[in-house]
Amino acid sequence: MKSKFLFFILILGIITISGCLREYNDVMVTSIDVMTSPTDEGTKLTITPYIQNNLNSDTGILTIKVKIKETSTNLIISEKESDIGYIKSTSSYYNSVSLGVSNPGDYYVEVSVFESGKLLAQNSVPVTIKAKPEPGQPADIKLMDVILVITKIYGDGSGAILEVSPALYNQGGDSKQLTIEVTARADPYTAPTKSDDIGIVKSMDRRRGKVTFDLPRNREYTFSVSVIENGKTLVGATVEEKIKLNELKYNIPMTYVLVEEGKPRPAEKKEPGFEAAIAFVSILLVYSIIGRIRKRR
């Protein structure tokens, strides 16, 4: 009986160490908004990270590092570091940083948050920059991501006002008038759709639309986005995961990647770690200890 209890305690410790019982981070980079604009030297990226302090106390003085990395080589193309002061308890911070790239290509923007040199939080988003198209080419719209934020929760907690903001990038010529349609699907019979007329999107420009839903909080939703030009759907994309509305926090923007129809889901970047190896070795150690206890008996 004693050995079984010891086995249980050790296994619980292993699970905790390996991160299986990990809770929300105290400080999080909840989303990163990236807007691009062409310049004579290349492309300027205006990067706005949203940082949330989930602690019941203020943070210390924080530093953010913003890097633009080339996807194929993981080389840093551009970076900037700045002190942002502290973030009050259970509140958020955002501010814009401008960086540039000289060549078209696939990049990702990485934002890291440090306190006294210690890494607290990190997040990244992909960015595609194409060469400027020749005059007269049609628009080529790519859906990038969507930001969800609850702006109001009803007193009884049953419903919420949800703002949905999809981002698109025009990698072709100037568009005609564009409309973004967003559908929040709970089941085959419940799928409200909202639209936002965003006008003409110039070549190499980005635009973020915004629609508002009034939804029950006790359901989970799949969000899909379409871009329409002169009655024709140019592109459609979906957030692959189902989102439980009651798990979204009030006034905290969350960013989700949009996967275009017919394209595979992008692989998540994962940093190499040793949690699995530690857990495996620890389990072997547990069996070794229990074996020795049994032999002594």
Token look-up 């639209």 returns 195
Cα 222 to Cα 258: distance, rounded to the nearest angstrom: 11
List pLDDT tens digits, range 272-291: 344 444 454 455 555 565 56
**Rg from Cα positions in the chain:** 23
- Per-residue pLDDT band for 296 (boundaries 50, 70, 90) equals low
Q: Between 296 and 216, whose confidence is greater? A: 216
Provide the terminal-to-terminal Cα distance of the chain, rounded to the nearest Å.
13
Residue 248 in tokens: 């979204």
Which are the contacts of 237, defined by CB distance < 8 A and separation ≥ 6? 143, 224, 225, 258, 259, 260, 261
Cα 36 from Cα 132, distance rounded (Å): 13
Mean pLDDT score across all residues of the chain: 82
Backbone angles phi, psi at 3, to 5 degrees: -65, -35
Rounded Cα gap, residues 202 and 179, in angstroms: 14
Q: What is the spatial distance between Cα 289 and Cα 5, in angstroms, rounded to a whole number?
A: 13
Count the alpha carbons within 13 Å of 227 in the hemisphere toward its beta carbon.
Answer: 29
pLDDT value at residue 1: 53
Encoded amino acid at 115, one letter? E
| pLDDT tens, residue by residue, 88-120 | 988 888 888 999 999 888 999 999 999 999 999
Q: What is the three-class DSSP state of 15?
A: helix
Pairing of strands 211-216, 193-199: unpaired
pLDDT of residue 266: 42
CATH 2.60.40.10 domain extents, the chain: 25-129, 132-263
- pLDDT per residue as tens digits for the range 178-210: 999 999 999 999 999 999 999 999 887 889 999
Residue 83 identity:
D
Range list of β-strands (E), the chain: 27-39, 42-53, 62-70, 76-85, 91-94, 97-101, 105-115, 118-129, 141-153, 159-170, 178-185, 193-199, 206-208, 211-216, 220-229, 232-238, 243-244, 254-257, 259-260
At 35-88, the pLDDT tens digits run: 887 788 888 888 989 898 988 899 999 999 999 999 999 999 999 999 999 999
Q: Return the pLDDT at 24.
A: 45
Q: CATH for 132-263?
A: 2.60.40.10
Model confidence band, residue 265 (pLDDT cutoffs 50, 70, 90): very low
User: Going by C-beta distance under 8 Å and a sequence separation of 6 or more, which residues neighbour residue 119?
Assistant: 112, 113
CA nearest neighbour of 282 among 5, 14, 6? 14
Q: What pLDDT is stored for residue 273 in this prediction?
A: 40
CATH of domain 25-129: 2.60.40.10
